[in-house]
Structure 1
Amino acid sequence: MEQIKNNDLFKTIFNSVPNGITVMKFVYNDKNEIEDFLIMMLNAYNRDLLGDIDYNEQLYSKVFPAAKNNGILQKFIETAQTGIVSNFDQWYEDENRKQWFRFIAVKQADLLVVTTEDITEKKQAEIRLTNALEAAEKQRRLYSSITNNTPDLVYVFDLNYNFTYANKALLKMWGKSAKDAIGKGLRDNGYEEWHALMHEREIDEIVATKKMIRSTVSFPHAELGKRIYDYILTPVVNEKGIVEAVAGITRDITDIKLSEQKRELSERRLKSMIEQTPAPTLVLKGDDLVIEQINKHMLQMIGRGKEIIGMPLIDVLPELKGQYVWEQVKNVYNKGISFDQSEVLVPHNRTGKICDYYYNLAYRPLIDDGQITGMIQVAVDVTEQVVARKKLEESENRFRALINASSDVVYYINADWTIMSNLDGGFLSGHSNLVSNWLNKYIHPLDKEKVIHLISESILNKSIFELEHRILNADDSIGWIFSRVVPILDHDNEVIEWFGNSSDITSQKEIQEVIKESEEKFRLLADMVPQIIWTSEPDGFVDYYNKRWYEYTNSKETELGDASWYLLLHPDDVKGVEELWYKSIKEGDSYQVEFRLKNANTGQYRWFLGQALPVKDKTGAITKWFGTCTDIHEHKTVTEKLELLVAERTKELQRSNEDLQQFAHVASHDLKEPVRKIKTFTSRLEEYYKGNIDETAAKFIDRIHVAADRMFNMIDGVLAYSKINANLRQSTLVDLNEVIKNIETDLEVALQRSNGIIKYDHLPTIEGATVLLYQLFYNLINNSIKFAKDDIAPEISITSEIDSDTNTAIITLKDNGIGFRSDQADLIFETFSRLNSKDKYEGTGLGLSLCKKIAERHGGKITASGSNANGAEFIITLPLKQNENNI
């Protein structure tokens, strides 16, 4: 009765388990090897899963045909053979869906008990979690790439005013690393007290109002000095609507501000110039040619007030449409063709009706950043002059002389140089009554004596009078004019009268003064510079040297020209310098050459770097050459000495390396020979005492074999380590995914034995030596398998990212093994370094040293971190491209 109860209880428990249980009997082949299993029992879970299939004493491979293809049956056979419990996950796919199961197989006498758990939902959740993590990581990399590659300053404050994030641009501005800056406040990061208080008040305001703040501030940059910044502070609100942080973006607008200030200054100067110019002038802007600026002279001329500013010109003067002058206006704006023409007929309305007027017109396009944005117009009303001239042409010959004089102001003088009349207007306006005492009223006192002297000579010689001189304007201002007076003679060669013209050259004189002042400033600045500075004509004729040239050469200031400086060159340099200089002059290219120049004070030659640039006009024609000569003697001599020293040291290092390589080969060969003899005589000893060796002696002999094998491996490791730098290897494109795939194949047995897995995907392709990169990752992965924890299958993860700033790949290899202490991170890369007992973990202690050498051979590096609880992590940084063809 008790047995029945126990059986019923067993069946109840057996069938109520939420997982599948299968009891199977071994099936042997003719070689007495297990090849399959007979199903003896299935619990209710498995029967529901199979449905109406007849399973009793059927082969497992027949009831579950997919088990043979996906490796499940083989793992059951291994458990049956070894007695080692199998615990693994495997997917199973039928016509309807793909399911994941976890199998636990236990050997019980000649039976195999298999527990099956449906983990499909768990696996799907893991896949969704992995995908979500990858998406989050991708989003993080994208965010990091955006924030760290923008020139703007990006940062985040916590509510205690401390920085929780700062991008590369901000760290660079501070001159700090993230470690030194993050977690610290404004003052700790170099902000002045007023600046820190300002931002703290703004953060408090944002927390209280949940509104962003935008403003401008000026403070110093670590490298660029004082700069102007535009910044935006924005609240970061959590799901409860509470501000949990404040994010900020700051942009350097110094150049923009300076550009605006320069543009404003330029516009103010242009406006001032237009207001002050005596000629009627206006500025038009935009496609509609809107009046942007207009001076009072132009307003008076067209009979309108300032209300026309902002109006299109054609709306102010609609009668211009279709006229010749309007076509020229459009050509200037649309094609950039300047227009200059005198006495242009323009019918338009000044006084309520359209009349004919004549103007001297000058139109110029205004160009901003290579684009035509408007134009400037200067229009001088010459209607009176034209009408008067036409009348004169119809009547008197003396007005033909007036035409020949072609002046701005025309007048005639009687024989004794008393002014009889002048055409009222121009710069003589207000001087209409100059018949008497005109020298005192008209001529500047400083020029009066010179004018009287030339007038006397003209009267005496009946010659033409020509002179640039100053005048006193009616408003007491001083102007410059060029006067030309021609005698009109009768048949007896006597002077009848004099016809004269005077041209206002005040503007030209002002420009000449500006040019003269600019040249004086240039010469003063050039004399302060320690370099030799010179200029020459387009043909190479030197027309200027600064003070430094005369100090160095003791030349006279009159010794200019195109050849005097050749005499001071070192004889070996003359030909090359001369050919290059005249080649530059001929082709219009910049000029740069090193040469030796004799110091007149010491008689010694010193090395100089000569440079010259052509100065060209708008048409591309050279108008001037500007050149410098920089003393590079110390730099030149030091460089030559360094080159010789480097060559000598390189030769010594090459010889030392060759000696070391030869020593490594000889040492490895000589060291192997005694180890070989140890193994040989140990084997002979075993053979000689075969059957007579007790357990202790056998153990000692095994240890001799193990020690000898370890010695062999260590000698091979030393030889491999020494050969890493011995031979150059061809640099090729290496797909690291393929490298890891090959390593996975080569370590297949070790991975299966330990149930280890390698996770990797989307590793980069880099330039390098395939064999060396294989050896690097093989050693790291093999170590992760070797140093796995006893009760945990090794899991190795390999990820990568690209640093676009340095053009390098950063590859991270992590495992879940025994790890090491953080203070051992540098020690593990040392030659023969071992952190664990050689009896428990075999090896030479050279693997990670080789990894370090290989990374450095590729121009990269390797670092390690880890702990005894969380395994080891290696970060390998490798360039995407190699500078040399061979490694």
Structure 2
Amino acid sequence: MELTSNDELFYTIFNSAANGLIALQPVYNKEKIEDFLLLFCNSRIQEYFEVEECKNQFFTDIFKLYDADILIEKFTETLVNRKNSTFEISFEIGEQLYWFRFTAEEKNGLLIVTVENITEYKTKRNNLIAALTAIEKQERFYNSITNTTPDLVYVFDLAYNFTYANKALLDMWGKSAQDAIGKGLRDNGYEEWHAVMHEREIDDVVANKKMIRGTVSFPHAELGRRVYDYIFAPVFNKQGEVEAIAGTTRDITEIKLAEEQQFLARKRIEESESRLQSMIHQTPSATLVLMGADLVIEQINRQMLALIGRGEEIIGMRLIDVLPELNGQYVWTQVQNVYNKGIPFDQAEVLVQHNRTGEMRDYYYNLAYRPLVQDGVITGMIQVAEDVTEQVTARNKMEESEKRFRALVNASSDFVYRMNADWTVMRSLETLDSYASEGEPVSNWINSYIHPDDRKKALKLISEAIDNKSIFQLEHRVLNANGTIGWNFSRVVPILDDNNTIIEWFGAASDITSQKEVQQIINESAENFRQLADLVPQIIWTSRPDGFIDYYNKRWYEYTNLKENEYGDSSWISVLHPDDVELVKDNWYESIQSGNFYQLEFRLKDSVTGEYRWFLSKAVPIRDASGAITKWFGTCTDIHEQKTATEKLEVLINERTRELQRSNEDLQQFAHVASHDLKEPVRKIKTFISRLEDNLEGKLDDSAKKFIDRIHVASDRMFNMIEGVLAYSKINADQQKPTVVDLNEVLKNIETDLEVSLQKTGGEIYYDNLPVLEGAQVLLYQLFYNLINNSIKFAKDDVPVKVKLSSKIIKQQDNDFAVITVEDNGIGFNENQAERIFETFTRLNSKDSYEGTGLGLSLCKKIVERHAGTITASGSPYNGAVFTIVLPLKQEENDI
């Protein structure tokens, strides 16, 4: 039986509709429409307007309590123009205001009117506007908070290198501060266009001394591509020149996405309202008619198709086949209850998970389900849905914003506070300071809190901040409650109303006492280095990794008569002989690019005689644990006599050789003394960190504990590195007398010393019939101890280490040599790294995964070379390593 041929079913459908339906016949008076006759209306109309019977009634009689004249005017216009019309009117029903949307369509001289109660929609829309306004206000407050501890904070030097990056920025790069600070944009992963853009903006800030602002998109290490709003501001020195560029960046991706989603949502609503053409399609709500026990889609309007994310091809399909993800969800249970039990369902903000756009997401709907009854039997159901995801999401975001704000204040280790507009009264937001409790106002706080010597500067900056409505920030001393003096970094931002008037200030103060004490230790260590360098007779200099010379000792200024502020490229080029300038520049910058040892002879002008004298210049790169160059250390030795006095060439060569030897010994002694001096600041760092832990016991969160643990690990690693440097320099300093050494006895002693490590890893050492030869027993013990300990350190996970030593005797140039191989089953290495592993401070693996200083194998090489032997290595990844040592059985020299 056709759906439209069954009157009972027809009226059931109309009465089950979520909206009111009316059929009107015009009533004419002298060819002018003066009223309408109601041919029928459904139960929704009776419910909306509190009417008991409307069939065959005049419209003005039924709606006399409401604005019937306006409605008749609208209906007449629709009928005359034969053009569909939609309009919204509010009525006061039972002392309450209701909003209705009327949709009128002319059909064969009659008027078919759909009436939708949009009161809830209007209310929600007004609430949404109010919520969005509240969100904007809350966001301004939240942004003010984050300005005290911004999401991304960084500082550039004038060479575009990062000199500071906070944790949020390092997390975004996926790097540590050690890997990122001191490097440029490209080294930290910026694409070429991005780096060029920021370098141009940095130049603009330096040139114009003004802040700039921009928006850019680039990838986050964990979150993917994001959109950021950034500000570059100049940092001035005392002379008013720009000495650095400070930057702040905020992630605005979510705001951009929300704007796009709002635009798409509005567009879908406009498109769906334009396609209302028939009984089901007239309603602006998403409507769906399901028939039969299988709940097959009989009718569906375009709005519902949009919500499902499919086209009209789904008509005739089972709903569960179209949306299989509904199975097991709460909403599917309600659908079955409506059909199986005839229980109507009305509920707002129902969570439904489905893949409307090709991926599973959470959506929220206002849902209304009604059964369709024919001859007392449920034959199907009508579903009406309204997407309220945007409203729910907006409310959730507002609630989440409030939670983040409270979490930020509660989690901050800083002292967080609020200040009134003129800074006369302070209110703390947490009880971290003895002068202010939660919410309690504190006046005269400057005299109580800031050290007297810093008050004048603080008051001046406060006045400037109020006048300019700018951020206040200052490092200053504080008076602690226990009578001690500490250091704080304070940063305060203004909160402005819509008229750009300051209503209050929000600030945070960080305790930087420990950083100040550590800086003092570093300054003292640098002064010790300068004093030691001034004692050396040679010219001593250091440079940055890029070759810019940043230090000369006193001998340089005595020879050149230059001022101490005249250093760098401009000074040493000016005292070079013109014929040597290009040669020196080419060789020096080639060493900078390759990282190789630098050595060259050139002439420098004597400031007393005006003559040019010959100098031998040498420089070596200083590398960190990862192999990166952190500084160059160089000397210039006067060799003029060797180059000019040919008749005494032999004597001068011998004399200069001894002088160079003494110079090298001085340098070696200098390195030895400098390494000893480096131990002291490391000890002090460890001492102050331990004191900091004691002082903050019970107050540290997990994140702070982790940072302190990392400082301990880094300090221990630095201490071990210094010990390694001392051991490396000591090998050249100590002379050993050769004795007869049984390598089998040496291996027995090594087994005893490594007993704990071998038992822990289940390792074993295999050797037999190793040779007896001449050498320094202490050094040979160190050689094989380092090699075997290396095998234990670089063993495979969960695989017991196996180390095998074998030997044979060969003859070379009438001398007998022992060839000893040390083979293990560890992680191995790439064959192209075989030469590099013997270089000083070289590491092939992460320092976080494997302990060590990078000096072990370089020590082995020096020991073998002192015994007039050779050492080579071979291997492949995860297939173990083989070290081959060739040593003479007898030593020709009396000293090793």
Question: Larger relative CO (CA 8 A, sep 6+): 1 or 2?
Answer: 2
Bigger CA radius of gyration? 1
Q: TM-score range by the shorter chain?
A: under 0.3
- TM-score norm. by structure 1 comes to 0.28
